[in-house]
Amino acid sequence: MAGSACTLGDPAPFEFDNASTLSGATTIRTSRDTGGLFGSGEFIPDRLDLIAGNCEGERGGGSGDGAAEDEKSGADAPANARKVAFAVLSLAIGMAVATLDGTFVAIMLPKMAEDLSGKDTYQWVGTGYLLTSTALIPVWGKLSDIFGRRELLTVLMFEFTAISAMCALSKSMLMLILARALQGIGGGAISSLSFIIIGEIVSPLERGKYMGIMSAVMGFCALIGPFVGGLIADHLSWRWGFWLNLPIGLAAIFSYQFTLKLTKPEGTMLAKFKRVDFPGVFLSTAAITLLLLGVTWGGVTFPWTSIQVLAPIGAFVAVLAVFFWWEKRAREPVVPLSLLFNLNYVLVTFVSFVANWGMYGLTYFLPMYFQRVLGLSTTETGYMNLPFIAFMIPTSFVVGMVIMKTGKYVMYPQLGLALATVGIGLLSLLDENSAKWFQIVPQLLCGLGLGMNMSTGNLMTQTNAPDDLIGPATSVGSFLKSLGGVVGIAVFATVTENVYADETRLSITHIADEYHLTVTTEQLELFVNVAAMVDLSTYNSEALSALQTALKHSYAKGLSRSFISFIPLGVVAFICALLIKHVPLRKTAKVQIKDGKERPTQSDPDPEVQRPSQSIRKGSEDTLYIPLPPRAFTARSVG
């Protein structure tokens, strides 16, 4: 090869006059170590260097049209940043209404049960919502790939808002349970789809900041929700908690249309429906529903060894096996099984699963310590629980900002799990005589640790997934986080109640012998289950004081054991966090919001060159063609 020239132009192949050139003076290399152009890795043309004598170039560099477009892209950066900010704001509105709804219902359940005469079935108001919201989370990513992110989010937000009116108009507990189950379909999708959209319109380097903002919004709503819900229930009606969803939900829908200007996937509605993996959706939903039924019933409604618990868990295993068998053969699987063979992705999702286990366990059972052990009121409990929430929310936001500045993130789940595990271990030492400072310090450690995991969970999930799988990867990650919360609550409840029951039986028997009291087996079980219903009229003051102290001590011991049960899991998750490999954060987003169109950024792999096996083709025996994306270099050997 006597000489060479480099030109910028439209998509065109490299053309070598003879095949020997490839192993001669001209060398091709990429900026990412992806296994080599002809190896097993992917060809990702973020940077393409052509060395032919003194000719070297970088994609987007040089002069001509490419440089002009880069200059234009730089000029558009502030405008696009504003569009992203408004888009995230609109997503935050939707997240707020879904989070507030959950906290409102939790605080208003007693009022609902009383008003609708449903004290025996009211728990299904929460369980029905939990089943539908969690079971469908894994499917939203793939469905949004097919039908469009904004379109699907708009439909599901409308469904959530409309069913809120049905909840408010409920005339019976059965109607309310059915309405809440329907509402869970949209409620579970809002969070998952919001994080998917953020993952596409925000660069990986900046995702930490926006993930932290969204987590802070959710945390703030969870913090004020019980207070606002209590005020509404006491001064208005529980129905107003659902009516409040309508204006906020409609505001979110309206804002989506103006801020989420993303390209709608091509194809007719019929063609899109044909792409849906309906068997996969059904099998996934059925398997998760069976698992949730077993987990939520186990140890609380029925013993773990009962047929009512073992049957759904056994059926879950069978349906899950069929699901994997089908997904391996599906044309467009709901859950791409390739994600399960990505070790970094598996480690990241497991760490998030465990972090949510601890967070939900503390959120539900730490207040029980203040109420049932210390005897504080609901308002006083809220104040005593503030250190945990007040440290977790700002930590999530600050860590996100630091990640944006440094590009480093792996150390935060590691440090976070260490702090959270130590904090929960210290909480296991609490009893009815613990000093106030000792009630607060472990909460600060837990808030710091779990706050670090809040801002990094979705970021790491998306960073460790290919761009074309960001939807399913985020959905699966969101599901596992939710499942961690469900399992965490179930395990904490089982351990607490079982230890409390055993300790209470021993304590009451001992007190009865000491004070010469007659306690029947029926009364003993009432002490364990509903202590307020025991007739204490024949007990003297000393016996009553001893009984009260014994019940508090028994419950404190139950909580202590539940906190201890988390420690081994926290240690395992910490070790897994140490094994997570750092993946560099790109500075460019997958898409840009611009003029109502989703515009791929320069870092996006072109579909034609994403995999070497699909992008390299041979023409004649002495010519090799390698298709390149727009504005790529075209090198021609010249004689």
Q: With bands split at pLDDT 50, 70 and 90, how would you rate the model's confidence at 527? A: low
Please check whether residues 442 and 591 belong to one and the same domain.
Answer: yes
Closest listed residue to residue 354, CA positions, set 233, 177, 484, 493: 484
Write down the pLDDT at residue 74.
Answer: 45
Domain-embedded: residue 425: yes
Write down the pLDDT at residue 303.
Answer: 80
If one compares 408 and 207, the residue with the highest pLDDT of the two is 408
- Cβ atoms 130, 292 nearer than 8 A: yes
Please check whether residues 436 and 575 belong to one and the same domain.
Answer: yes
Distances (CA, A) of 187 to 190, 240, 242, 432: 6, 18, 13, 38
Write down the pLDDT at residue 339.
Answer: 80
Domain-embedded: residue 70: no
Write down the pLDDT at residue 15.
Answer: 38
> How open is the CA angle 343-577-138, to the nearest 5 degrees?
55
Determine which helix (DSSP H) or strand (DSSP E) holds 635, and give its type and residue range.
Answer: strand 633-638
If one compares 524 and 634, the residue with the highest pLDDT of the two is 524
Average pLDDT over residues 513-525: 72
Please check whether residues 288 and 360 belong to one and the same domain.
Answer: no
Write down the pLDDT at residue 354.
Answer: 92
| Count of C-beta atoms within a 10 Å radius of residue 84 | 20
Residues 220-244 have pLDDT tens digits of 787 777 777 777 777 788 888 888 8
Q: Please enumerate in sequence order all residues whose Cβ is within 8 A of that of 78, keeping only pairs 6 or more positions apart, or say none.
A: none
**Which two structure tokens, joined as six digits, stand for 286?**
């059925």
Residues 554-576 have pLDDT tens digits of 888 989 999 999 999 999 999 99
Q: Which residues of 315-346 are buried (b: 16+ CB within 10 A; e: fewer)?
A: bbeebbeebeebbeebeebbbbeebeebebbe
Last residue of a domain, one of 267, 290, 323: 267
Q: With bands split at pLDDT 50, 70 and 90, how would you rate the model's confidence at 468? A: confident
Domain-embedded: residue 426: yes
Q: With bands split at pLDDT 50, 70 and 90, how would you rate the model's confidence at 594? A: low
Please check whether residues 320 and 378 belong to one and the same domain.
Answer: no
> How open is the CA angle 495-497-500, to the nearest 5 degrees?
100
Write down the pLDDT at residue 351.
Answer: 92
- Cβ atoms 358, 488 nearer than 8 A: yes
Domain-embedded: residue 67: no
Q: Extract the runs of DSSP E, i.e. beta strands, from 9-60.
A: 27-30, 48-51
Q: What is the mean pLDDT of the chain?
A: 74
Residues 264-309 have pLDDT tens digits of 777 788 888 888 888 888 888 888 888 888 887 877 677 878 888 8
Please check whether residues 296 and 259 belong to one and the same domain.
Answer: no
Write down the pLDDT at residue 12.
Answer: 40
Write down the pLDDT at residue 637.
Answer: 37
Residue type, 502: D
If one compares 28 and 196, the residue with the highest pLDDT of the two is 196
Please check whether residues 111 and 94 belong to one and the same domain.
Answer: yes
Domain-embedded: residue 214: yes
CATH code, domain carrying 183: 1.20.1250.20
If one compares 542 and 320, the residue with the highest pLDDT of the two is 320
Please check whether residues 109 and 196 belong to one and the same domain.
Answer: yes
Among the listed ranges 93-97, 211-215, 358-362, 632-636, which one has the minimum average pLDDT value? 632-636
Residue 49 has pLDDT above 50, yes or no: no
Please check whether residues 535 and 474 belong to one and the same domain.
Answer: yes
> How open is the CA angle 237-239-243, to the nearest 5 degrees?
120
Please check whether residues 157 and 173 belong to one and the same domain.
Answer: yes
Among residues of the chain, what percentage have pLDDT more than 90? 11
Residues 404-426 have pLDDT tens digits of 788 888 888 899 999 999 999 99
Residue 605 has pLDDT above 60, yes or no: no
Q: Please enumerate in sequence order all residues whose Cβ is within 8 A of that of 315, keeping only pairs 6 or more positions apart, or say none.
A: 290
Write down the pLDDT at residue 389.
Answer: 80
Residues 148-197 have pLDDT tens digits of 888 889 999 999 999 999 988 888 888 888 998 899 888 888 888 888 88
User: pTM of the full predicted structure?
Assistant: 0.70
Domain-embedded: residue 206: yes
Please check whether residues 492 and 461 belong to one and the same domain.
Answer: yes
Instruction: Tell me how many domains the chain contains.
Output: 4
Q: Please enumerate in sequence order all residues whose Cβ is within 8 A of that of 340, keeping only pairs 6 or more positions apart, or say none.
A: 346
Domain-embedded: residue 552: yes
Residue 447 has pLDDT above 60, yes or no: yes
- Cβ atoms 433, 244 nearer than 8 A: no
- DSSP designation for 62: S
**Most confidently modeled of 145-154, 347-356, 516-525?**
347-356
Domain-embedded: residue 298: yes
Write down the pLDDT at residue 47.
Answer: 34
Residue 66 has pLDDT above 50, yes or no: no
Write down the pLDDT at residue 616.
Answer: 34
Last residue of a domain, one of 267, 290, 312: 267
Q: Please enumerate in sequence order all residues whose Cβ is within 8 A of that of 180, keeping only pairs 6 or more positions apart, or say none.
A: 105, 125, 126, 128, 129, 167
Last residue of a domain, one of 236, 267, 298: 267
Write down the pLDDT at residue 593.
Answer: 59
Parent domain of 198: 84-267
Write down the pLDDT at residue 157.
Answer: 92
Please check whether residues 51 and 154 belong to one and the same domain.
Answer: no
* 3-class DSSP assignment, residue 323: helix
Please measure the distance between the N-terminal and C-terminal CA atoms of the chain and give it in whole angstroms: 6
Please check whether residues 260 and 285 belong to one and the same domain.
Answer: no
Residues 361-399 have pLDDT tens digits of 888 888 888 888 888 876 777 788 888 888 888 888 888
Residue 483 has pLDDT above 50, yes or no: yes
Q: What are phi and psi of 10, to 5 degrees?
A: -70, 170
Distances (CA, A) of 117 to 57, 172, 181, 229, 367: 75, 8, 19, 20, 27
Cα 637 to chain centroid distance, Å, stands at 52
